[in-house]
Structure 1
Amino acid sequence: MKQNLHTHCQFCDGKDTVEELVRTALDKGFDSLGFSSHGYAHPLDACSLDDEREAAYIYSVLEARARYGDRLKIWLGIEEDLTGRIYADPAFDYVIASVHFIPVPDGQWKAVDYSPELTREMIQTDFQGDFLAYARAYYNELKKIAHRPEADIVGHLDLLMKYNEGEALHPFDDPAYLDLAMEAIDELIAADKIFEINTGAMSRGYRSEPYPQALLLKYIQTHGGKICITSDCHARDNLDCGFDIARNRAKAAGFDQVMVLTEQGFVPDSLWD
């Protein structure tokens, strides 16, 4: 099955309309498409849905489902930020839970993924150059997803490494860093969450490989975790960006299947078909 469940449109920070994305999915041979606009997380995330745009978003996706449902399965989802609203509404078919903001020592909340400059400044100024303190703050937030029963998918597991291409911030294989990430992974696996292999940073030129990094992906596999493949699409041309790379990464890590959303809920789909 060709499916993407992490898709942003013009109702949040995506570039395209629901209609444009649906037509692109049809052109690219998708079996199903899930929309996942950023749920209400004001004032930290000005691009996230407010009440008016949330209502319009739901209407637009459901209207597209009514018009295109005989050609493409369309799912209504939401990307829930840990700092924002909890989306347990049965109107949503699934929930992606993500950490975009972390608390810094002075009590403020700051974004980990706005720009390389702001991320470096936060590490140097707020965490006194201690990358592990920065990573600890991030993974402590990520663990909270384990206690969100509405959350189906963990969004971009190691988003804090978005700007770490060429290990510009910190070595990926530092044992102390890996311990922090793996501790969070253990809790999320125990809560039966699905981890996405997310190619979003690849399409925007920040990373040459998907989230999560290969060592963490292998750890998920060896500890019985489940995965799905998403593009975190913000522009329709990237709807299936890096899917072949993601599938090959999953196979290399030892996975035989990925989870896909169906009328029966999330079910496994073979990587080898």
Structure 2
Amino acid sequence: MIKQNLHTHSLYCDGINSLEEMIESAIQKKFTVLGFSSHGYTPSESFGMDENRQNSYCLEVNKLKEKYKDQIDIFLGIEQDELYRINDPSQFDYIIGSKHYVKGEGYEHGIDCSKEVTEQLVSSYFNNDFLSFCQCYFDDLKKMATWDEVDIIGHFDLFMKFNEDESFLSFSNKQYLKMAYETLDCLIQNNKIIEVNTGAIAKGYRTKPYPDFHLLQYINQHNGKILLNSDCHNAKFLDEGYDIAMDLIRRAGFKSMEVLTSKGFETKDIDEFIM
């Protein structure tokens, strides 16, 4: 049976646990696969790794792979932001491509800080038009479809983090769904794996994972590939929301998910995964 998380942060970026503490928690929670994905370099934030820190991170993960090889499969990954593509992807087992910022003339802002910051961002730079904000995000996300090094697309609709009450926009808005579907088409056609991400559940911002259920259904209907990740920053919550996410994944019609192995990503029957 398989239990996997490939979106894991630690003290090397904005997590609160060491790599080894995360591994010990994973073993205790009966994970069979754990991948580390510390944030790559981002000049405007302190949590992204600089070159020296990234080198230390890679060395430690590779040592821990060997130390725990008889108990759990450990993989070395990185979360690469769309604005700051990494220089040497070859050293990593996999790469998560994510978008955390919107950038324009004279500004660069994180999109998942708080509801108030999102309101201010949309007001200041998108003329109070949330759909324009969404389109900007999706236009940038599409760029990663052709980046060969990117295996997984992280938190596909992250900008909806503070919109579970639909106060910004309805999840079923036709214009919104059109741009979301077009982006998913682009990613699926380029064989990107779409992450089902429970990170906002652990932090208390949402009761459901990314992407929204409408989008999960679309991914399944168009033969897209998915995997389940917790985007974990705290070892206590390594599998937080997995039961909720698996219920939605099954309801969306998925019969399989992706798992990372020593031979690369493989498609496995959904009944092989345990929560």
Pairs within 5 Å for 1:159-238 = 159-238=158-237
Secondary structure at the counterpart of residue 46 of structure 2: coil
Q: 1:57 and 1:118 mapped to 2: Cα distance? A: 31
Q: 1:215 and 1:89 mapped to 2: Cα distance? A: 33
Pairs within 5 Å for 1:48-127 = 48-86=48-86, 88-104=88-104, 106-127=105-126
Secondary structure at the counterpart of residue 239 of structure 2: coil
Q: TM-score scaled by structure 2? A: 0.96
* Residue aligning to 1:5: 6
Is 1:40 equivalent to 2:64 in the alignment?
Answer: no
Q: 2:190 and 2:88 mapped to 1: Cα distance? A: 17
Secondary structure at the counterpart of residue 131 of structure 2: helix
Deviation at 1:51, TM superposition (A): 1.1
Per-residue CA shift, 1:172-220, capped at 9, x if unaligned? 1100011111111010001000001000011101111000000011111
Q: 2:251 and 2:88 mapped to 1: Cα distance? A: 35
Q: 2:271 and 2:66 mapped to 1: Cα distance? A: 32
* Residue aligning to 1:15: 16
The aligned amino acid for 1:27 is: Q
* Residue aligning to 1:245: 244
Q: 2:187 and 2:106 mapped to 1: Cα distance? A: 26
Which structure 1 residue ranges, 5 or more long, are not aligned? none
Contact kept? 1:247, 1:271, Cα under 8 Å = no
Contact kept? 1:41, 1:85, Cα under 8 Å = no
Deviation at 1:87, TM superposition (A): 5.2
Secondary structure at the counterpart of residue 272 of structure 1: helix
The aligned amino acid for 2:242 is: F
Which structure 2 residue ranges, 5 or more long, are not aligned? none
Deviation at 1:88, TM superposition (A): 4.4
Contact kept? 1:80, 1:87, Cα under 8 Å = no
Secondary structure at the counterpart of residue 77 of structure 1: strand
Contact kept? 1:135, 1:160, Cα under 8 Å = yes
Q: 1:242 and 1:87 mapped to 2: Cα distance? A: 34
- Greater than 6 Å deviation, 4+ residue runs: none
- Identical-pair percentage: 43
The more displaced of 224-233 and 115-124 is: 115-124
Secondary structure at the counterpart of residue 91 of structure 2: coil
Equivalenced residue count is 271
Q: 1:258 and 1:45 mapped to 2: Cα distance? A: 33
Per-residue CA shift, 1:87-140, capped at 9, x if unaligned? 543220000000001124x44221111222111100112111101110110000
Secondary structure at the counterpart of residue 160 of structure 1: helix
Deviation at 1:85, TM superposition (A): 2.9
Give the 3 Å change call, closer, same or farther, for CA 176–155 of structure 1 in structure 2.
same
Q: 1:67 and 1:263 mapped to 2: Cα distance? A: 16
Contact kept? 1:103, 1:137, Cα under 8 Å = no
The aligned amino acid for 2:37 is: S
